[in-house]
Amino acid sequence: MNSRLKQELIQNGIEFTDRQLYQIEQFSSILQEWNRTHNLTGAKNIPDIEKNILDSLVPYTFIEKPNSILDVGTGAGFPGLLLAIAYPNSKTILCEPRNKRASFLKYVAMEIGLENVKVVKKRVEEYHVDEPFELISSRAVTNTKMLLEITDHLQDEDTRFLFYKGEQLFEELEVVDSPIYYDIIEKNRRNYLYIKG
């Protein structure tokens, strides 16, 4: 694994097994390869991909370990695929409606041996399960109020939420109708919104 990324992970309090580090490295290289022809993400080179990897994994240091994860609009894998690597025993659903991205996610999950991952090629509003998720995550999909509403049928009172946000977060929170209990962790110009019910 790239020693620079490994060092950055360690500096941020993130220590993984050799297998997890290998999976991250394989993910980076497969994403760079696919991105040349399929334009999956704006991160075109390994340093940019690694920034997105670190951004996806920072919450590993402050969230409770979930038994199940739903990632809404996973795109090129950020953050859902990285959370699946971080939590190999957590059932992880990557909900991605766009064909190219869903195909990429299925391919990379199989290629790097992520047995805990299932890719669902649907809009989250159209996805239904019997059991609510313990953690619902999302990055760059829509505003906080809308994310809470479109996942209403996939949550219960114990579901936690992890939303990767920018500066607009504080305005978004002002229009959320229901009372929520949350922490905002600011790191590397990112606001991580962790809602605990």
Residue 2 has pLDDT above 80, yes or no: no
Q: What is the mean pLDDT of residues 70-78?
A: 96
pLDDT in tens, 8-24: 999 999 999 999 999 99
Under 8 Å between Cβ of 135 and 66: yes
Strands 135-139 and 68-72: what pairing?
Answer: parallel
Q: What is the mean pLDDT of residues 150-164?
A: 97
| pTM given for the model | 0.96
* Local confidence band at 164 (pLDDT 50, 70, 90 cut-offs): very high
pLDDT in tens, 105-152: 999 999 999 999 999 999 999 999 999 999 999 998 899 999 999 999
Domain boundaries along the sequence of the chain: 3-195
* Local confidence band at 1 (pLDDT 50, 70, 90 cut-offs): low
Looking at CATH, the fold of the domain delimited by 3-195 is given as: Rossmann fold (3.40.50)
